[in-house]
Amino acid sequence: MNKAQLVEAIADKVGGRQQAADAVDAVLDAIVRAVVSGDRVSVTGFGSFEKVDRPARYARNPQTGERVRVKKTSVPRFRAGQGFKDLVSGSKKLPKNDVAVKKAPKGSLSGGASATVKKAAAKKATAKKATAKKTTAKKTTAKKATTAKKAATAKKATAKKTAKTATAKKTTAKKTAKAATAKKTTAKKAAAKKAPAKKATAKKAPAKKSTARKTTAKKATARKK
């Protein structure tokens, strides 16, 4: 049975072929949208539709036998309900004047088309909000880290400049001290050189006095004679 035959089979029950086609399209659309968004569509007694993730794996090409790498993918899966299984296996008989799969109690279904779409939209909105929050938190953390790094770098640069300035001051002080010491040494040497000249002059003076005395003594001796 294909889709057209399915529509024909239920046309009399829903009031016409167009209504049947719309009903089939609405049901299939709701199931596909729910499964694609990661939701599970479960109909009691009939079965459930869900999305299954398959990890990356290796498979073999049936024609060449070559080992092939298969990427990670997602596939839809249908699991038949117990009532459906019992009817197929023959443990239960198909009712003649009733539906094969009876209506499930209220709340046992995953929801109609609108409910499924609403759930999917709510999940997407929640996921987007969570992603936005994470992104904002990451940006804030990155900004704080960058600011802290810049502040630390600036502090280090300032400390280096201060250390260089202090070193320059010490060097200048040492040079000034050396210059002062050199001046003192030069002054001492100059004073030491001048001092002997004065002493020599002082020694020569007595010699003149002794000459004068000798002259006076000679004159006195001549007078006596």
Looking at residue 201, its pLDDT comes to 45
In a domain, 27, yes or no: yes
**Least confident residue range of 108-117, 168-177, 206-215:** 108-117
How many structural domains comprise the chain?
1
Give the domain extent around 46: 3-51+78-128
Q: Is residue 44 part of a domain?
A: yes
Report d(CA 204, CA 206) in Å as an integer: 6
Domain annotation covers residue 115: yes
**Is residue 47 situated within a structural domain?**
yes
pLDDT of residue 112: 45
CA distance 198 to 192: 11
pLDDT tops 70 at residue 15: yes
The least confident of 16-30, 55-69, 92-106 is 92-106
Residue 158 belongs to some domain of the structure: no
In the block, tokens 């202090």 appear at 166
CB atoms within 10 A of CB 41: 20
- Please determine, for residue 131, whether its predicted confidence score (pLDDT) is greater than 90: no
Where residue 130 falls (left for φ over 0; alpha for ψ -120 to 50; beta otherwise) is alpha
134-177 pLDDT per residue, tens: 666 677 676 777 677 777 777 777 777 777 777 777 777 778 77
The arithmetic mean of pLDDT across residues 10-31, rounded, is 92
Examine the pLDDT at 108 and tell me if it is beyond 50.
no
Q: Specify the pLDDT at position 28.
A: 94
Confirm whether 90 is domain-assigned.
yes
Residue 21 lies in a domain: yes
What is the reported pLDDT for 158?
A: 73
Tell me if 147 is assigned to some domain.
no
Q: Round to whole Å and give the CA distance between 56 and 17.
A: 44
The confidence score (pLDDT) of residue 154 equals 73
106 confidence band (pLDDT: 50, 70, 90): low
- What pLDDT was estimated at residue 52? 94
